[in-house]
């Protein structure tokens, strides 16, 4: 899935640029996103917390990573990993959002594979124990 990138004016807290990925993820056109506040697009972050996070990044220049959800045009929520950054001494914030759907699916596949490996190891151990028991019975009886 696409990666959303938006530039935010730290004075007005409005989006001044949005890439195609932002449009794809949100369901809004890039032009419709311009002028919106990121606060309008978040669902699970208190506006004060997001504003404080963006202000902190703006004042310190230290990027901030978080998990959240974007409220899309149709009202649905898209879980995302968010990076808020300020390019070197620029008076702009860059918000990057990557949908976590792909990451979570990969994590689920990895968990399933690990569970399968554990079951196979148990079956191998049981088969080995059974083999050893049969051999002992055969040679012990003879």
Q: Looking at the predicted structure, is the pLDDT value of residue 142 above 60? A: no
Q: List pLDDT tens digits, range 6-65.
A: 999 999 989 999 999 999 999 999 999 999 998 888 866 677 777 888 889 988 989 999
Q: How many degrees, rounded to 5, is the angle at CA 99 between CA 93 and CA 105?
A: 155
Give the phi and the psi of residue 69 in degrees, each rounded to 5: -145, 140
State pLDDT tens for residues 63-106.
999 888 889 999 998 889 889 999 988 899 999 999 987 666 66
Say if CB 71 and CB 77 are below 8 A apart. yes
d(CA 8, CA 65): 16
């Amino acid at each position: 899935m696409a990666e959303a990138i938006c530039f935010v004016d730290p004075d007005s807290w409005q989006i001044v640029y949005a890439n195609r990925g932002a449009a794809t993820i949100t369901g809004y056109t890039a032009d419709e996103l311009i002028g919106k506040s990121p606060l309008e697009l978040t669902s699970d972050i208190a506006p004060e917390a997001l504003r404080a996070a963006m202000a902190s990044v703006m004042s310190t220049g230290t990027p901030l990573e978080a998990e959240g959800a974007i409220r899309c045009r149709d009202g649905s929520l898209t879980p995302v990993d968010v990076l808020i950054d300020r390019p070197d001494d620029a008076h702009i914030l860059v918000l990057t959002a990557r949908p976590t759907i792909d990451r979570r699916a990969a994590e689920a596949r990895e968990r399933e594979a690990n569970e399968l490996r554990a079951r196979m190891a148990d079956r191998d151990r049981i088969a080995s124990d059974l083999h050893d028991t049969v051999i002992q019975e055969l040679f012990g009886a003879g």
